[in-house]
Structure 1
Amino acid sequence: MILCVGLATVDLVYRVDRVPGVDEKAQALSAEVAAGGPAANAAVTAAALGAPVTLVTAIGAHPLGGLIRSDLEKRSVRLIDAAEGSDGLPPISTVVVEDATGRRTIVSRNAGDLAYRVPETGLPDADLTLVDGHHPVLAVAAARAARRLVVDAGTWRPVFADILPHADVVACSAAFHHPDGFTAPDVIVTHGPDPVTWTRDGRVERIPVPPVDAADTAGAGDAFHGALAFALHSGAPMRDAITSAIRVAGVRVRHPGPRSWLDQL
């Protein structure tokens, strides 16, 4: 089983001819609602590829949280809600995608300073755990308990100082910068359409990213992490796992919308 621990949001996704400026309005070409967030999107990807997946996150009892629950259930992701009974708003993101280029603009209110404890039942046993650094208490607990830990290091958060020492694999975006530097057995850095770099034992390999016509880049990194977790969970060697994750991320960006691309896997 793969355990994903981190952020789940309500994503409101609009596709527009162009992103409006200040005091401008735009009529959306389409609008969709889905669960979002790095851990949730990775969980959905891994489940779509065929792995049993559990997501530990914080949603609560607010009616909008039902949108997240419904999407995750439809995608065969088991949910453990550390905010069960809370009536506050769940994290919400508005994603605006430019139709001609697939580039996206995101406005979000994520977990903020809210802290949720590990559920009384504890965290489930998993062969591989992925954490994204959101919900720090949950993330640190999961990192310490993990048999094999993959860290989604999109942007620096102080909690990573407590998580990274437990990591087997750190998958970073090019924007990730640890203020003091770090080491891990395997460090992977994505650079958008440019080659992915993989560092092990001081050796760096550049793995090419095939060119694609991008229709929607939102969640491409999350898809990469979910596919990477799936491949490693399935026993693939690291280079093969990275290549597979690149392929899945390429499928993601070629298709508009938060979920339609999953049918192409």
Structure 2
Amino acid sequence: MEPIDPTGEWPLDVVVVGSANVDLVVRVDRRPGRGETVLGSDLSTHPGGKGANQAVAAARLGARVALLGRVGADGHGRLLRESLERDKVDLGHLREAGAPTGVALITVGPEGDNSIIVSPGANARLEEQDVADAAGLLRSAPVVSLQLETPLPTVLAAARAAHRAVFNLSPPAPVPDELLALCDPLVVNEHEARMVLGAGGPPAEQARALLRLGPRSVVITLGAGGAVAADASGVTTIPSPRVEAVDTTGAGDAFTGALAWRLARGDGLADAVAFAVRVGAATVRGAGAQSSFPTLSEVEEP
């Protein structure tokens, strides 16, 4: 697909095609075993969803962002619209569906680690026709950011329409070779890389193995260990700043949103990943997902 403006004066920086959920969060001292009940903290409610998170993360850093997605005609849907509008995300293609707004049930452990169950709701109603109807939107940005909390055929249609597709393969699931070949980059964490490859191994070797599956570039996030970036020019390991983790919820989405924005600005892969690593590290220092996403001035330079 040819750029709509070869001078590079894009109307938007990033279009995110993906989910919008409300996160229902409880902190626990330990997670229950089978048949067991444990007491947790007061329930807190936050805007979330991988798509909305990536859009807010990029917008808060200064990107011009639009979100293509679906929510329900309910209180959770109104909460999401209001929060996205506060961060100046373009909602012209966030539509209502005949289903409840998606919900994520999150438990946060004492070390800041999280376990998540997602009820997709309206997100499961985002269809290929929605992508076709938004063709002009997808052509208006150099980067389209994608995840897997919406149906796979919709994700594939959006990747086909994108100038450059940044695809976070999360939640992990089998995907067709065509989608992998459209990724630039494919973004996975260590667990997702192992799922795709069927085996573990050193991150640099995993990145090379993932490249052989067809993506134009690959990024493996390593949590506190930083990230690995790989493309035809080689493999680069980028360390993370050392921070005290309070809550890791949304850190991967903040990373991907930041990565998409810097690639849209024209950064090389390694430089974009280095910036995204700092954004991810800044995110885990606060509680919640979007509430912890930093502004550009809050991201520490190396």
TM-score range, shorter chain: 0.7 to 0.9
1:139 to 119, 133, 155: 155
- Structure 1 residues 174 and 160, CA gap change in structure 2 (3 angstroms): farther
Which sits farther off after the overlay, 178-187 or 150-159?
A: 178-187
Residue identity in the other structure for 1:210: P
Alignment of 1:20-59 (within 5 A): 20-21=32-33, 22-28=35-41, 30-59=42-71
Aligned-partner Cα distance in 2 for 1:76–1:33: 21
Normalization by structure 1: what TM-score?
Answer: 0.88
Could you tell me which amino acid in structure 1 is paired with residue 111 of structure 2? T
Whichever residue aligns with residue 26 of structure 1, its letter is: L
Which residue type is aligned with residue 143 of structure 2?
L
Displacement of 1:20 in angstroms is 4.6
TM-score by length of 2: 0.78
1:149 to 165, 170, 185: 165
SS in 1 for 2:72: coil
SS where residue 225 of structure 1 aligns?
A: helix
SS at match of 2:237: strand
Q: 1:195 to 1:246 in 2, by over 3 A?
A: closer
Q: Which residue of 2 aligns with 1:257?
A: 288
Counterpart Cα distance in 2 of 1:224 and 1:17: 27
Q: 235-244 or 203-212: which moved more?
A: 203-212
Assess if the C-alpha contact under 8 Å between 1:170 and 1:188 holds in 2. Answer: yes
Name 1:69's counterpart in structure 2: 81
- Deviation at residue 83 of structure 1 after TM alignment: 5.2
- Listed as ranges, the matches of 1:92-241 within 5 Å are 92-98=103-109, 100-110=110-120, 114=125, 116-119=127-130, 121-123=133-135, 124=137, 125-133=140-148, 134-176=150-192, 177-178=195-196, 182-201=213-232, 203-241=234-272
Distance 1:259 1:156, change over 3 A: closer
Deviations 1:77-125 (A, max 9, x none): 12255653x3311211111222x41111212212586562433742302
Q: How far has the Cα of 1:129 moved from its partner?
A: 0.6
Could you tell me the percent identity over the aligned residues?
Answer: 32
Q: Is the CA contact (8 Å cut-off) linking 1:115 and 1:136 kept in structure 2?
A: no
Question: 1:118 is matched by which residue type in structure 2?
Answer: Q
CA distance in structure 2 between the partners assigned to 1:121 and 1:57 by the alignment: 12
Contact in 1 for aligned 2:174/2:196 (Cα 8 Å): no
Give, in angstroms, the shift of residue 56 of structure 1.
Answer: 0.9
Ranges in structure 1 where 5+ consecutive residues have no aligned partner? none
- Give the conservation status (yes or no) of the 8 Å contact 2:128–2:157: no
Residues 155 and 173, structure 1, Cα contact 8 Å, conserved in 2: no
Q: Given that residues 59 and 81 in structure 1 are in contact (C-alpha distance below 8 angstroms), is that contact kept between their aligned partners in structure 2?
A: no
- Residues 181 and 216, structure 2, Cα contact 8 Å, conserved in 1: no
Contact 1:118 1:141 in 2 (8 A): no
Could you tell me whether the CA contact under 8 Å between 1:118 and 1:137 is conserved in 2? no
Structure with bigger helix share is 2
Name the CA distance, whole Å, in 1 between partners of 2:104 and 2:124: 16
**Conserved in 1, the CA contact under 8 Å of 2:24 and 2:106?**
yes
Establish whether residue 88 from structure 1 lines up as the match of residue 106 from structure 2: no
CA distance in 2, matches of 1:40, 1:55: 7
Instruction: Count residues with an aligned counterpart.
Output: 262
CA distance in 2, matches of 1:156, 1:259: 22
Correspondent of 1:78 among 84, 90, 104: 90
The SS at the match of 2:241 is coil
User: Secondary structure of the equivalent of 2:181?
Assistant: helix
- Unaligned residue ranges in structure 2 (runs of 5+): 1-11, 199-209
Structural RMSD (CA): 2.4
